[in-house]
């Protein structure tokens, strides 16, 4: 752990007001804040109190003087073969047109607008237009089922909704409008108007007269619109983003404006090392927090061009991402371990076809990065790979390598050290701190949470406290609900969710540890381990693995031989106590559209229970394959 990093981190947690006052200089303030931090009502933190700013102004307007003609938004759709580049000046014009359209529909400061759209430029215009007006956007991932969409509508109660006729995935249209109509029928508080971006992908798109409006027509009415920025106080909500909860009621993460802008601007400097004029490529989607922070706001705040990509990592071939890096001189890339594991199954020659010399770093987040995948991608690309750990709730990294402060060695599979501003501790479940190396604990944050983190749960202050700050008896501490360890060098390793820990005959085993061991076998491309109820031992691990070559499991004899080899690796790495009861080979794992494996659903199927809400599935093939191998095993 480097001396300079330690010094910066120590100051950020011991003198947070002085530290963050300095970082506040990275953005424009229309009115200077009177107080850096108001923590008079723990655990609620208000940053840069009394300061007035605007996310859209900082992301777009303030760059016009120096870089009006520089690329700001690079739209690439390998699904529709559309490619379009917008300069900062173009973006400024389009955002004002969108803002004028929303104003004409009565949208103003504090109003909510729900976005249910594919990865197209108009979605980004809408997000920026809303924060320009002081309105609050709520982006729901395009393709969510009608019921899920309806519950979010009722929670946010938007005045207007913006959608599209359809998205595109793997060469096939994914109609949206019929889902929107069904959601509005189910919702108790549907919006008054629905604005539709018609891409011409759904010829049978239904229209409700008087409610549904065509964006192209509305835009034409506001071609020359000039919409001034609405300055808002720092704590004014910028958006609501829904994340999974333990109850049926949606949990809306509420983000502020000033603290979020400062946090993202600082992260571009200290973590991602992006420079104004360079290009940032995040392979995520605006329906998820990464899309908000590092497709839209982070790069634009920093004066960078951002890539908005609609497509698959393997279409038209597995080299498409690297072609984008070459063609647009991408300097910083952000993706997920799942996507890298998908590429790992493809011909490695695709990684060598393009000139990626502009690429300085690749950052991976969203789930634990296994050592095998980390070593593979770093070796193939020849650029530094940074694992980092964060959550929808935090909005930016909790644990991360911070090369902008000090370049330090990385360890495969580790997100390195706490980011500046985060007072991270490993705690036992009773709240006692773990100081010894390599002992498991819950990854926790001593409040106040730094700028950029959620300010509350939308409309549910009590839920904010109860969900995140009551996990440790008599102590007001934020729980990430993730297990972790810290090695003798101070590097953190994330072991999985606290509810993914398997208790085998009194021994607590993280699913991540078993997955790591199994994935080290040369034949395994991907693996998910779940804990299944066992009458004798409480729980037993059960593994579901995807192989690189289907021929390796083409016969029952080959399956049995590979399963025996995998078991042997687990025995050797972790001991017989961690050995899975079975290793089941499937063609694919059940995943959400964002690429996360649905482990809880796999566990439910293995225990003969209802797998729960499957509306976020990419497709049902993974679930059917799990069902089939479980039936065969019985």
**Relative orientation angle of helices 621-633 and 599-606, to the nearest 10 degrees:** 30
Token representation of residue 345: 């199954």
Q: Is 66 exposed, middle or buried (0-12, 13-18, 19+ CB in 10 A)?
A: exposed
Domains along the sequence of the chain with CATH? 505-633 (3.30.300.30)
What is the 3-state secondary structure of 375-441?
HHHHHHHCCCEEEEECCCCCCCCCEECCCCCCCCCCCCCCCEEECCCCCEEEECCCCCECCCCCCCE
Cα torsion through 104, 109, 114, 118, rounded to 10 = 80
**Relative orientation angle of helices 371-381 and 511-519, to the nearest 10 degrees:** 50
CA separation for the pair 571, 569 (Å, rounded): 5
CA separation for the pair 246, 234 (Å, rounded): 30
Cβ atoms 115, 159 nearer than 8 A? no
**The whole model's pTM is what?**
0.85
For range 551-571, the mean pLDDT:
91
Q: pLDDT tens digit string along 369-388?
A: 888 889 999 999 999 999 99
Q: What share of the chain is helix, strand, coil (3-state, %, to 5)?
A: 35, 25, 40
Cβ atoms 235, 455 nearer than 8 A? yes
CA separation for the pair 517, 413 (Å, rounded): 12
Q: pLDDT tens digit string along 6-20?
A: 999 999 999 999 999
pLDDT at 108 over 90: yes
H/E element, 518: helix 511-519
Cβ atoms 307, 331 nearer than 8 A? no
Cβ atoms 285, 116 nearer than 8 A? no
Q: In 3D, which of 258, 199, 185 has the Cα closest to residue 77?
A: 199
Give me the DSSP letters along 35-51: EEEEEEETTEEEEEET-
Taking residue 391's Cβ as centre, other Cβ atoms within 10 Å add up to: 18
Q: pLDDT tens digit string along 313-345?
A: 998 999 999 999 999 999 999 998 888 888 888
pLDDT for 246: 47
Q: pLDDT tens digit string along 114-163?
A: 999 999 999 999 999 999 999 999 999 876 678 778 989 999 999 999 99
Q: How many residues does the chain have?
A: 634
pLDDT for 629: 87
Taking residue 454's Cβ as centre, other Cβ atoms within 10 Å add up to: 25
């Amino acid at each position: 752990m480097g001396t300079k990093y330690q010094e910066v981190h120590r100051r950020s947690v011991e003198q947070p007001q002085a530290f963050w006052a300095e970082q506040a200089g990275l953005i424009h303030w229309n009115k200077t804040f009177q107080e850096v931090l108001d923590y008079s009502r723990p655990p609620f933190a208000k940053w840069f109190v009394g300061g007035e700013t605007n996310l859209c102004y900082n992301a777009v307007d303030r760059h016009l003087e120096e870089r009006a003609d520089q690329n700001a938004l690079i739209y690439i759709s390998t699904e529709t073969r559309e490619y379009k580049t917008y300069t900062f000046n173009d973006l400024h014009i389009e955002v004002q047109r969108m803002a004028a359209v929303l104003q004409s529909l009565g949208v103003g400061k504090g109003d909510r607008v729900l976005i249910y759209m594919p990865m197209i430029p108009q979605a980004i215009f809408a997000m920026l237009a809303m924060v320009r007006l002081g309105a609050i956007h709520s982006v729901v991932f395009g393709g969510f089922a009608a019921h899920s969409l309806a519950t979010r509508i009722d929670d946010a109660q938007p005045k207007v909704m913006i959608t599209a006729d359809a998205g595109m995935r793997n060469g096939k249209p994914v109609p949206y409008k019929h889902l929107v109509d069904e959601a509005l029928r189910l919702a108790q508080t549907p919006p008054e108007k629905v604005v539709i971006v018609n891409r011409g992908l759904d010829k049978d798109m239904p229209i409700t007269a008087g409610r549904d409006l065509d964006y192209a027509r509305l835009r034409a009415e506001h071609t020359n619109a000039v919409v001034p920025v609405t300055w808002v106080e720092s704590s004014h909500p910028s958006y609501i983003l829904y994340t999974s909860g333990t109850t049926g009621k949606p949990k809306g993460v509420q983000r502020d404006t000033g603290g979020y802008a400062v946090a993202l601007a600082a992260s571009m400097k200290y973590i991602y090392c992006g420079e104004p004029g360079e290009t940032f490529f995040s392979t995520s989607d605006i329906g998820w927090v990464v899309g908000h922070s590092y497709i839209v706001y982070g790069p634009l705040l920093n004066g960078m061009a951002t890539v908005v990509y609609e497509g698959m990592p393997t279409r038209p071939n597995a080299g498409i991402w690297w072609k984008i890096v070459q063609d647009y001189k991408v300097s910083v890339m952000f993706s997920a371990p799942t996507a890298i594991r998908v590429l790992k199954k493809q011909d490695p020659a695709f990684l060598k076809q393009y000139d990626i010399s502009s690429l300085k770093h690749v950052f991976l987040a969203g789930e634990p990065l296994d050592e095998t995948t980390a070593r593979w991608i770093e070796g193939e690309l020849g650029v530094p790979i940074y694992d980092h750990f964060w959550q929808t709730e935090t909005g930016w990294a909790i644990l991360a390598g911070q090369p902008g402060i000090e370049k330090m060695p990385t360890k495969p599979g580790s997100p390195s050290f706490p980011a500046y501003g985060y007072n991270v501790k490993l705690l036992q479940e009773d709240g006692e701190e773990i100081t010894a190396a390599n002992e498991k604990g819950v990854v926790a944050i001593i409040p106040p949470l730094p700028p950029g983190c959620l300010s509350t749960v939308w409309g549910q202050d009590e839920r904010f406290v109860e969900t995140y700050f009551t996990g440790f008896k008599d102590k007001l501490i934020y729980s990430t609900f993730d297990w972790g360890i810290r090695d003798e060098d101070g590097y953190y390793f994330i072991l999985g969710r606290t509810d993914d820990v398997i208790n085998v005959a009194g021994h607590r085993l993280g699913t991540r540890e078993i997955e790591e061991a199994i994935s080290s076998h040369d034949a395994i491309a991907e693996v998910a381990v779940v804990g299944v109820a066992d009458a004798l031992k409480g729980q037993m691990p059960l593994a579901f693995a995807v192989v690189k070559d289907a021929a390796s499991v083409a016969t029952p004899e080959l399956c049995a031989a590979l399963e025996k080899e995998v078991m042997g690796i687990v025995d050797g790495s972790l001991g017989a106590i961690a050995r899975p009861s079975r290793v089941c080979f499937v063609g694919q794992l059940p995943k959400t559209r964002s690429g996360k494996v649905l482990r809880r659903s796999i566990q439910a199927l293995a225990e003969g229970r209802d797998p729960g809400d499957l509306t976020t599935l990419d497709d049902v093939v993974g679930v059917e394959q799990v069902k089939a191998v479980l039936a065969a095993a019985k």
